[in-house]
Amino acid sequence: MTNNPLLQPFQTPHETAPFHLIKNEHYLPAIQAGIDAGRQEIDAIVANPDAPTFANTVVVLERSGDLLSRATSVLFNLNAAETSPEMQRIVKEASPLLTEYGNDITLNDRLFARIKAVYDQRVSLNLDTESAMLLEKTYKRFARNGANLNDADKEKLRAIDKELSQLSLQFGENVLAETNEYVMTVTDEADLSGLPDFVLEAAKKTADEKGLTGWAFTLQAPSYGPFMQYADNRTLRETLYRAYNGRGFGSNATDNQANIERMVQLRYDRANLLGYQTHADFVLEESMAGSSQKVTSFLDELVQYARPAAERQLAELTSFAKSCGFTGDQIEQWDYSYYADKLKKQQLDLDDEMLKPYFKLDNVVEGVFAVANKLFGITVSENKDIPVYNPEVKAYEVFDQNGQFLAVFYGDYFPRPGKRSGAWMNDVQGQRIVNGVNLRPHIVNVCNFTRPTDTKPSLLTFYEVTTLFHEFGHALHGMLANGQYESLSGTNVPRDFVELPSQVMENWCYAPEALHLFAKHYLTGEVIPQTLVDKIRASQNFMAGIATLRQLRFGITDMYFHDRQPTGESVTEIESHVDALVNLFPQVQGTSFSTAFSHIFAGGYSAGYYSYKWSEVLDADAFEFFQEKGGLNAKEVAQKFRQNVLERGGSEKPMELYKKFRGREPSPKAMLRRSGLTL
């Protein structure tokens, strides 16, 4: 134990995780030691002879478990960004231990009795707003996780939670395995027609690294996306599409269909056990939306706006494809990106190849830092003395405008075999105030962007640029957090509120004043010309109806899985029901997007994927406020956003925080205007 770095004080800058010292054999002993320490802390609360108070029960419980959190935060961050078969084995072994430990706390009758005693006195306690929220959240955490169940039902809940944790891990591992294993090799140069040099160079490098002849294309986003967008060979586009959308759907060891059906059933059973009609009812009780009925109505209303626009856009795109030589009646899903890119170039004289020279990764990173500086006064500087978990990762210190240290920020931007696909933000250390000391957060952004080649630096597509800004918005939510309690700090907010900061930041990618800060040609240093900026702004609504329907397809599918009693329908049958409402393309036999839908089956978005569209209403309304008051110069608006959203986390109800920022409730009109979906 004395040699285990996870169990010793971190002798590093800002007490950051000593990734260079931590080995796989350290995790399980540290987790077990953390569990043992946590149990002792809980036992001390329960054994306290004094009458229960907010301070001696709720606050002490909030402060417990630090040793365990330190080990698990490192482990689970790395399992997503830098995993290995050995680490996956460790996580599988640790997860049931952690589930059992969590249940031992929330199902502890004597502990809950003390919490309830405090909760029953809440009106007379005169707590500040944040402390009152902590008391409410703590009570609900126990009540919503079985504290009021009888002993037999508590055991059922334990069994369900344990199985769900294992199934979620297995789902994610299956998707990662199939993503990593697939390679499409092309040896005939004629089959590469249409692909830009940067795609060919990356594919050649991938083939060389894998010991293959020719060019190798994978299911990683920087390989898959450009191939679908540029490759003239329709047969190969179909091949790659089927591989990508067949992940977890192969009737093999990594098939996720049975995992989905079991998880959906267990989530339903768990909700029933706790007194809720469905899993969606359980989840949405604590959301900004408040109910499954409101979410369903929201999604249905957006379909009414989006579908007519999408139908017009698809008809236009099909007609354009035919003018380019397409001979079918209707384009397929593997044709969409290809022809949409060509139509955008024809209509707007714009494509990614025109923009990428202005979006060198290093410049975009410095650009998002510059935007944050303009808005919130923060500065970000690299510190190479902070340990990182991979040489590609950069660690930064973040300071306020007065030079006060705010946070550590890690940027991890390239795909690797040990990293799951997508982009996300995590924290390795959350923010909280203990004994008057403001413990500052350590925040991670993880992405999968286009790698540099032998001849070019990493040049981002515009979508990748918006992704980087999106994830940094989440990072700001974590880094600027300024609450008393970690469980209410930073991004610990309802799912349909957490996307507000991230999506607000995306808007700056379309703002000329922001683009001029960082969009500079990687060879000449020329600032992006206004003509291209105008085209970027014009492209914001390009195919917006189809893009909106795609998002609604995910959200409605999520609700279909979780807002009703499971009927035994297959994953394919469920997708067919949803597709009748929101998918304008022909169904593709042998594919399923649900079997790789990690957001809801390996992440925390079950019955919550609608939140991306919900947050679009918020972010469009919020960004109009910035624009009305001067854009990047709207210091007063930025300060309101920082004080009432970014700093406050979940310390108040989301709608109250939003109204304090905006002065009123959000209006959907801004989102409909921005998307061009008004009828």
- As a whole number of angstroms, the distance between CA 67 and CA 33 comes to 8
Give yes or no for a contact between 396 and 409, defined as CB atoms under 8 angstroms apart: yes
Give yes or no for a contact between 341 and 352, defined as CB atoms under 8 angstroms apart: yes
Query: 82, 464, 471, 616: which one is catalytic?
Result: 471
Give yes or no for a contact between 535 and 349, defined as CB atoms under 8 angstroms apart: yes
Residue 164 half-sphere exposure, CB side, CA atoms within 13 Å?
22
Q: What single DSSP character describes residue 394? A: E
Amino acid at 320: F
- The pLDDT, as a whole number, for residue 1 is 59
- As a whole number of angstroms, the distance between CA 287 and CA 159 comes to 26
Q: Could you tell me the mean pLDDT of each successive run of 10 residues in the chain, 679 residues long?
A: 89 98 97 98 98 98 97 97 97 96 96 98 97 98 95 96 96 96 97 96 96 97 96 98 97 96 98 98 95 96 94 97 94 98 96 95 98 98 98 98 98 95 96 97 97 93 97 98 98 95 97 97 97 94 95 98 96 97 96 97 95 94 97 97 98 96 93 81
Give which of 412, 370, 377 is closest to 394, Cα–Cα: 412
Q: Where are the alpha helices (DSSP H) in 13-128?
A: 24-47, 60-63, 66-81, 85-106, 109-119
- As a whole number of angstroms, the distance between CA 46 and CA 49 comes to 8
Strand partners, 381: 397
3-class secondary structure, 405: strand
Task: Write down the number of H helices and E strands in the chain.
Answer: 27, 9
Strand partners, 438: 433
Give which of 597, 602, 619 is closest to 498, Cα–Cα: 619
- As a whole number of angstroms, the distance between CA 602 and CA 178 comes to 15
- As a whole number of angstroms, the distance between CA 102 and CA 139 comes to 15
- As a whole number of angstroms, the distance between CA 54 and CA 65 comes to 18
What b-and-e string marks burial along 339-357, b requiring 16 or more CB atoms within 10 Å of the CB?
bbbbbbeeeeebbbbebbb
- The pLDDT, as a whole number, for residue 251 is 87
Sign of CA dihedral 32, 35, 40, 43: negative
Tell me how far the alpha carbon of residue 114 is from its chain's centroid: 36
- As a whole number of angstroms, the distance between CA 115 and CA 136 comes to 10
Q: Which residue in this structure is represented by tokens 């990428």?
A: 356
| Residue 471 is among the residues annotated as catalytic for this protein | yes
- The pLDDT, as a whole number, for residue 374 is 98
Q: 541 is written with which tokens? A: 């609504």
DSSP letters of 136-162?
HHHHHHHHTTTTTS-HHHHHHHHHHHH
